[in-house]
Amino acid sequence: MRKSRFTEEQIVGIIQEYAAGAKATELCRRHGMSDATFYKLKAKNASTCTGSPH
């Protein structure tokens, strides 16, 4: 299985930024990931995202 480019802590941090109101496209640009990757990580780690969806 392929190792993730981002650590679990980084993923949680990115999702928390999104929950705090950051735009998904801006987060993807800043962290160097595609929109699809972001939404896959968000779906996989949905329990850490407590904010409202954008």
**What are the residue ranges spanned by the domains of the chain?**
8-46
The answer on pLDDT for 48 being more than 70 is no
In angstroms, the CA 50 to CA 16 distance is 8
Average pLDDT over residues 6-35: 94
Which value, in Å, is the radius of gyration of the alpha carbons in the chain?
A: 10
Per-residue pLDDT tens digits for 27-47: 999 999 999 999 999 999 877
Q: How many angstroms separate the CA atoms of 11 and 21, rounded?
A: 16
Mean pLDDT of the chain: 86
Quote the pTM value.
0.76
Residue 18: Cβ-neighbour burial (10 angstroms; 0-12, 13-18, 19+): buried
